[in-house]
Every structure is written in C-alpha cells, then in structure tokens.
Chain A
C-alpha cells in the first residue's frame, strides 16, 4: 500500500439507501441521482463526510476489525451462532455496524464532547486522538506538540500558561500580570494523554476547562471555546499515579475501550511497518473539517429531533435508577443520592427493602442514579449517532447504541445485587457495556409491557399543563385536579417502582401548579 492508497476515501454514499422506504417505481430523478458536476460541488454532505472519515480510519488508520456497535434492519433479524462451552454468541448484524473505538471519538468530534479512551499501552488510543486533531485540520506536528502528557509533576502553569517573569517583578496588582497562555488551549481538538497521571490540583484546574470552557491563572481568564476533548488512560479502573477526581470523571461524556488486537490482522501491521507511511501524516483533505464545517456539523447534530416515544423510553429507564424507598421518609428524599450523602451504603438499604423483585428491578442493580449531565450527554450522542447513520430522527437503536459508552463510568453497578448471582449473568460483573445494554433493554421491555406508548395518563396530565393555563376556567382546573388525585389514589395499593416515583412527583408538581392557579382565579373573581 502506497501513500496514494492511504489517501483513498470511501466512495459516496457510504451508507446506501439511508432514505429508507423501498420505491417500486423509479423515475428520472432516481436514474440521474448519482449526478454531481465537479464545479457545482461544494463537498459532500457533512454526515457523508463524517462517514467517509470513519471508513478511512477503519480501512487505513486504526486496525480495529470490531463491529461491537451493532444495528439490524427492522424485520431482518440478525443471525447468531453459539460458540464454546459458554455459548458465546457471534451475531451477524443485518445493517451497517461499527467499531466503537473509532465511531465514538468521531461522534465526540461532531458534538464537541469529551471522550476518554481507555486500554492497555500500545492499543492506538493516542494515535486515534491525534487523528482527530488532523481531521480538524491541524498539521500533525501541531497536534503532537499540543498534546498534554500527564505526569506527576504537571502543574497548573505547565498545563495552561505561565505568568511573564517581568510582570511578576513589576506588577502591583495581580491584574497587571500577563499570562503567556499555552497554544493548545485555543485548538478545536484538545488531547490530554494519560490524564490519570495528573496530580489532583491540576486535575481540578482541568475540570474547570472541561466543564466551563475557561481557565484561570493569576486572575487572568482564558476562554477556550467549544472543542472536542480526548483523554487517554491506561487503567480503566481509574488507577495510575493519582486517583481521578469524581467531578472530572463525571465531566467525561463517553468512555471507549481499545479492544484487543485481532491476531489475524498481523499482516496489516507488517505491511504498515514495511511501507513506513504513517496514517496521521496522510489524512486525505476530503475528510478534513475546517472550523466552519465543524460548527455546522455541531449545529446539524443538535437539530436532529428526538421523537417522543424514544424520549419516553429514556425517561422510563432513568426513572428506574434513582429510587431507594428506605433512604428517606419524605417522598422527594427516597433516593440513592440521599443515602450516599448520608454515608450509607445504598446496597444495604436496598437489601432491607423486602417485597421487591430485586432480580428484575433495574434500579436494584445500581448504586446511583443518572445525573442531568449524563442525560444530556446521552441525548447529544444519540442525536450524533442518528446523524451519522443518515437518519432523519433519533431511533431507539441509536440511543441503545451509545448508551453503554455514555453511562460506562456514570452508573455504578451493585455487584452484590442478587441480579448478578445468576450464573448466566456472571460475566456482566466485568462486561459493563453488555450490562448497561441489558438493563436498558429490560427497561424497554417493561415499558412496552406496561403499554405506556398507548396509555400514559401522567403524560396526558403534563401535556395539558404544558399547553398553558391562560384562559383555563375554574371547572376545568377542578376536573384536572380531580384527575391527578384519582391517578394517585389508584396507585396506593401497588408496589412503588422508579417510574411511578417520578410520576408521583410530577403529579405533585402539576397539582401545585393547578392549585396555585385556582387560588389566583378565585382571588381575581372576588
């Protein structure tokens, strides 16, 4: 393979037939659909360009022959084969499937999120991050120079900028000290290698940049702007020289594992060594995104709609995770968060909660619930997944595909939970991606079993409220209050589950809104 071969970009369209429904009759528009005159062409659509970048990476840059992000065409179930004593399943997906190790960093680039690449040394984590910098249009030399290497002596000033020595001597106030900011802070792609080797104080400063997009040294503030972050760590469990602070860990949107090298592809390694050509130095210009395209890419991803049925399933899943009945007395405080803040072990409190089927209850398998940030990341990456696949809106499959990588470090499994005692589920103690996918699937099954798409009285109440109270008459308000009370009354003799807990709080909120409005109506009429 030569340098020219390395510059080969997959032919467009990389995902044929993304428009969906089959047309039996075709017309001239279909026959000439392949048309594009070179002069009129301003470049491929950005989702197409993103897919071309993906396929260039998997074909030429990163040897990752894994298709762990699986999709199947509706109505065409995948074929599966069972291997070995453990009946390990080989699934053959019926739709275009992807390697998470390449896909998730690209989605991170699209949404300008924060991606943690984990795995043993030499698995291509740093190389992937560097490729992202080159795809953003930076010369490979600049990307390498801008990369921050974590080490135990790394100070805040080393990382972000140094005050000018002349000012340190002459300045009478801190505001007079000019800081020489490091160039990498202004780049659209930022790479921090081995972030778990950064000392705790510097981690805290890094946290501010990650979360809020600014850095402060000697009272001087530098706004870094929106950018895609790539952090690498050799130890998935957060080890290394320093423990990663929880807040920093929570700021990371997705965690991607570098999967083991497939020995059948040693030949590719040999070829690469023989030709002596580095992929990152031969990125085709056709897959490079300039600043304007990067902005547009982000905007287009955000514009992908999340339909209500998909959002409802996400709400239902998230609702299962937070409830801990015995953590408090007042309804609002019966959460795992209450227990954690009090220093109690949620597992012990869950164990004392008799009468609940702790094997089927998704919430009984986790030690915490989902933060708002985690939910935001989920929605953002689900949109990016749909955009990448050329879909007009987010499907449940898109959400399901990204969920394990977004929640990987955010949802802590309760490994002592009875659900893990089942020998069939033993492997889920260590395979967190599969575990997260399984509990999401379980929640979706429960959602479907409850028929919430067709019968959602709480949803109806909230929809009525969302329509606004302007001009709503007293009789209507009284009827709606009565509906809320009737729903709550109907729940008195059933087991409290996570979704019901959130629904009860939502009904309480609606009741308050209507009650206040009713008082105001009556005051106005007198």
Chain B
C-alpha cells in the first residue's frame, strides 16, 4: 500500500494490496488532507467486520474503503461521527443493497444518513431498508432511501417521497411502506389527499400525532408552547422566545424555525376540552384548525407537548 505506507491486516490488507492501483490515489488524496499512515491504518482496520459482511466482494468493498478514507480525510472518522456509524453498522445490515449496487448505495447511504440521524431515526431507517426489497435498478436506490426516510418520520420529505414513490415499482414501494403491494396505488393516493390517514390507523376522533415535548424528557422545549395560525404551514408554535412552523403528518412531525416572525392570523380559538376527544383533562390555551383535514393543533396550559386532534362529529 504505497502512498501512506499503511499496513493493515487480513481482509482489508488483502483488498487494498490487490487493488493498490485503485486505492493509492484515494490514499494520496487523504494524505493531502493531512491524514497520516496511523490514522488511515486505524480507519481501515475498523472495516474488517464490514468486509466480512459484504462477503469479501471487492466490488462492494472498494467503495467502502474509498468512503472511509474520505471520511478520515475530513475528520469524520471518530466514535461520535454519524457517517462512521453508518459504515460500520448500517452498511453490513444492508449488505444485499451494497453488493447489488456498490457504487450507488454506499455514497447515497452516507449522504443521507446525517439528515436521518438528526431526526433520531437512523436505526428505524436501517431496519426498514433492511426489511425492504433490494432495488431493481441503481436508479431506484436514492428514491428508496427517500421514501424510507419519510416513512420513518422525516415529514419534511413527504411531498418529495410521495413523488419518488411513483417512480418505483409497486413491490419495492410496498416493502418500504409495509403495505400490501396490491394496495400501494390506493394508499398513496388516499394519503396524498389526507395526510392523517394511513392503513390500519384509527380513523375515529382522537389524538393522531404528538409534537414537541419537555427538554428534560428529550423534547425540544423548556417552556410550555403556545400555538397560532399563520406561517408557511398554517400552524405556528411560539415557545422559548422562538417562532417555528409546525410540519406534521401521520408518520412524524418537524419544527422549522422561522427567522422572520410571521404575524399570527388572529388569536387562536380555545376549544372546550370537554368536546375534544382526548385522553387528558387540561386547560386548552389554543387550538388551530388545519388548512386540510378535520384536525386541530392543540396547546395546553400544563404540557410541553402539542397534540394534533381529529375532531369527532359532536365537536
């Protein structure tokens, strides 16, 4: 292994020596970023179990080596780095994907993993992908990752994922969404119309989504939030001195901080909790109806959590 004089053992060494002409430019590039031999050796040594999971297939292993050196060059090969965890934990679980489309799957997994990890659903995402069908073509890899990310709760990708799902074969989409293949078209169409509908979810009145929470229990807020109508989604949350737009659907929720505070559209009406089909007894400080669907975003006087409540006929 010429460029850095790196000497690693077993699988990695065999792979790198056998493909020195391919790997050396990557090593030189890493050296240009200040990676010394010891750092490169340590990073590559970590790949032993990954290469084993990939069945010692050099076609699959080389993109992983390349990605690893790139991460080491940019200081992202350390215990706390998400991409390193993806290479070491997610790639082995998705060995079938990587063996099928090595040059597409590895970069796409790494590129998308930071956004998924920020939402705290990296494991769920990996589980869903591992349980899904391997994409039939390389072009299906990225749309599949996108659909899985949305289905795991990254609601801001909802529209893009619904569009991407249309480009994928139904069996693949069905396995990603965990719905029968025969119903994929109907499910997507109906969900596109009503973001709070999903097969096997209760359609009656009640809480359909919970958003936020107290910082002490892993939520984003210290203070009790208030809600208002307005902003890009029609739902605003005012809490801890900030204003954010609430984006939510049946699978997840997100808060988008707004730099310029939009003027709330009127004072949020307070709903009588007695007519709200909810399992709590509290003073409602604001209830904002959604632009689409018969749901309300409800804030309470004694909770850091917002509830999306589907109204009953009586309410």
User: Which A residues contact B (CB, under 8 angstroms)?
Assistant: 4, 7-12, 20-28, 30-39, 41, 73-76, 284-286
Q: Which residue of B30, B242, B256 contacts A38 across the interface (Cβ within 8 Å)?
A: B30
- B36 adjacent to A26 (CB under 8 Å): no
Q: Which residue of B34, B76, B107, B157 contacts A31 across the interface (Cβ within 8 Å)?
A: B157
Q: Which residue of B38, B111, B143 contacts A34 across the interface (Cβ within 8 Å)?
A: B111
Contact stretch, chosen from B67-75, B190-198, B282-290: B67-75
Chain B hits for A285, CB < 8 A: 32-34
Chain B hits for A39, CB < 8 A: 25-26, 29, 66
Q: A28-B142, A41-B70 are in contact. Are A35 and B111 (CB under 8 A)?
A: yes
Q: Which residue of B66, B76, B146, B245 contacts A28 across the interface (Cβ within 8 Å)?
A: B146
B259 in the interface, Cβ–Cβ < 8 Å? yes
- A26 adjacent to B75 (CB under 8 Å): no
- A75 adjacent to B259 (CB under 8 Å): yes
Nearest A residue to B67 by beta-carbon distance? A38
Chain B: interface size category? 35 or more
- A27 adjacent to B114 (CB under 8 Å): no
B158 in the interface, Cβ–Cβ < 8 Å? yes
Total A-B pairs, Cβ < 8 A: 111
- A8 adjacent to B75 (CB under 8 Å): yes
- A286 adjacent to B34 (CB under 8 Å): yes
Mostly, the A contact residues are loop
- B70 adjacent to A24 (CB under 8 Å): no
- B29 adjacent to A76 (CB under 8 Å): no
- B233 adjacent to A24 (CB under 8 Å): yes
List 6 additional contacts besides A11-B74, A35-B107, A285-B32; criterion CB under 8 Å. Answer: A24-B232, A28-B160, A28-B164, A30-B157, A38-B73, A75-B259
User: Which B residues contact A (CB, under 8 angstroms)?
Assistant: 25-26, 29-30, 32-34, 36, 38-39, 66-67, 69-70, 73-76, 107-108, 110-115, 142-143, 145-146, 149, 154, 156-160, 164, 232-233, 241-242, 245, 247, 256-261
Chain A hits for B74, CB < 8 A: 9, 11-12
Shortest distance in angstroms between B264's beta carbon and chain A's nearest beta carbon? 14
Q: Nearest 3 CB-CB pairs, A to B?
A: A38-B70, A35-B111, A27-B160
Chain A hits for B245, CB < 8 A: 22, 24
- A74 adjacent to B259 (CB under 8 Å): yes
Nearest A residue to B78 by beta-carbon distance? A8
Would you mind naming 23 contact pairs between A and B with Cβ atoms under 8 Å apart? A7-B34, A8-B75, A12-B74, A21-B259, A22-B258, A24-B156, A24-B232, A26-B156, A28-B160, A31-B111, A31-B115, A31-B154, A35-B110, A36-B70, A37-B107, A38-B69, A38-B70, A39-B26, A75-B258, A75-B259, A76-B259, A285-B34, A286-B34
- B159 adjacent to A25 (CB under 8 Å): yes
Nearest A residue to B103 by beta-carbon distance? A37
Mostly, the B contact residues are helix
- A32 adjacent to B112 (CB under 8 Å): yes
Shortest distance in angstroms between A18's beta carbon and chain B's nearest beta carbon? 12
- B142 adjacent to A25 (CB under 8 Å): no
Q: A22-B258, A26-B156, A286-B33 are in contact. Are A38 and B145 (CB under 8 A)?
A: no
- A9 adjacent to B111 (CB under 8 Å): no
Shortest distance in angstroms between A397's beta carbon and chain B's nearest beta carbon? 13
Shortest distance in angstroms between A55's beta carbon and chain B's nearest beta carbon? 11
Most chain B CB atoms below 10 A, which of A4, A12, A27, A31 = A31
- B149 adjacent to A31 (CB under 8 Å): yes
A34–B109 CA distance with the chains assembled, in angstroms: 10
Q: Which residue of A24, A32, A33 contacts B256 across the interface (Cβ within 8 Å)?
A: A24
Chain A hits for B26, CB < 8 A: 38-39
A32–B115 CA distance with the chains assembled, in angstroms: 8
Chain B hits for A4, CB < 8 A: 36, 38-39
- B108 adjacent to A32 (CB under 8 Å): yes
- B260 adjacent to A25 (CB under 8 Å): no
Shortest distance in angstroms between B180's beta carbon and chain A's nearest beta carbon? 26
Shortest distance in angstroms between A151's beta carbon and chain B's nearest beta carbon? 37
Chain A hits for B261, CB < 8 A: 75
Shortest distance in angstroms between B103's beta carbon and chain A's nearest beta carbon? 10
- A28 adjacent to B111 (CB under 8 Å): no
Chain B hits for A286, CB < 8 A: 32-34, 73
Chain B hits for A12, CB < 8 A: 74
- B115 adjacent to A22 (CB under 8 Å): no
Shortest distance in angstroms between A201's beta carbon and chain B's nearest beta carbon? 45
Chain A hits for B32, CB < 8 A: 285-286
Q: Which residue of A8, A25, A41, A73 contacts B160 across the interface (Cβ within 8 Å)?
A: A25
A75–B67 CA distance with the chains assembled, in angstroms: 40
Q: A11-B76, A24-B232, A26-B156 are in contact. Are A32 and B66 (CB under 8 A)?
A: no
Nearest A residue to B25 by beta-carbon distance? A39
A31–B147 CA distance with the chains assembled, in angstroms: 11
Chain B hits for A28, CB < 8 A: 142-143, 146, 160, 164
Shortest distance in angstroms between A349's beta carbon and chain B's nearest beta carbon? 47
A475–B294 CA distance with the chains assembled, in angstroms: 66
Q: Which residue of B73, B158, B259 contacts A73 across the interface (Cβ within 8 Å)?
A: B259
- A34 adjacent to B110 (CB under 8 Å): yes
Chain B hits for A36, CB < 8 A: 70
Most chain A CB atoms below 10 A, which of B36, B66, B70 = B70
